[in-house]
Amino acid sequence: MVWVKLVSTSLITLIMIYMIYYSLVSIKAYRGNFKIAPHHKARTKFLVLIPAVNEEAVINIPVDDLKNQKYPKKLFDVYVIADHCTDKTAMIAKKHGAKVITAEMGLNVKRHGVGKSNTLDYGLHYLGLNEWNKYKYVVVIDSDNNVASNFLQRLNDYAVEFSEPEAIQVHLDSKQGHGFIRHCQFFCVNKSFR
């Protein structure tokens, strides 16, 4: 009985240390001074992926927002990965201007499970390395999010300003209504951190 109490106390202590550490790291990150990137000429090519499963009621929201971007259309492509949908998600996405990948299209693509990450994996494998290597960045947007009209331009600004970092993370400070983005912060990972 003492052994069980000792093990459980040790585990609880480790969990507490873990939580405190990551809380302090998060607080330190938010207190940092973030450099705001100035406007740069559009030059970065984006592959925008929207994983979706039975999202017919909302899929038009991000697709329409992306169609109305203040960014050159030749510099980005929007793909909706309609994964095993039993509704009209694929048809609606296509009608609104997105390219659509469905589970039936890539029967020769090996699946690794279900869920958002596996849907994205499936979509990228379906497109193939030659296709998605044409883009500098892969952007993932949820199927129920609004996208600000300057979103891709601001991603471009940060990519150019920080010499094309390996990753750019966009943090949404707040949402209003059904997903209106009020303010975004961009975090870049420079290649020198490898």
Percentage of the chain surpassing pLDDT 70? 86
Please state which of the ranges 28-37, 46-55, 152-161, 185-194 shows the lowest mean pLDDT. Answer: 185-194
Q: Please name the residue that has the structure tokens 């052994």.
A: 3
**Contact by Cβ (8 Å): 160, 133:** no
pLDDT over 50 (residue 182)? no
Instruction: Write down the pLDDT at residue 108.
Output: 77
Q: What is the pLDDT of residues 109-127, one digit of tens each?
A: 777 777 888 899 888 888 9
pTM higher than 0.85 for the full model? no
User: CA 92, CA 102: separation in Å to the nearest integer?
Assistant: 13
User: CA 189, CA 30: separation in Å to the nearest integer?
Assistant: 16
**Contact by Cβ (8 Å): 51, 140:** yes
Instruction: Write down the pLDDT at residue 184.
Output: 47
φ/ψ (deg, to 5) at 40: -130, 155
**Contact by Cβ (8 Å): 23, 53:** no
Q: Which of 41, 45, 43 lies closest to 136 in space, CA to CA?
A: 45
More confident residue, 49 or 109: 49
**pLDDT band at residue 177 using 50, 70 and 90 as cut-offs:** very low
3-class DSSP state of 186: strand
Q: What is the pLDDT of residues 128-158, one digit of tens each?
A: 877 878 999 999 999 988 898 999 999 999 9
User: CA 40, CA 56: separation in Å to the nearest integer?
Assistant: 36
Euclidean distance between the first and final Cα of the chain, in Å? 48
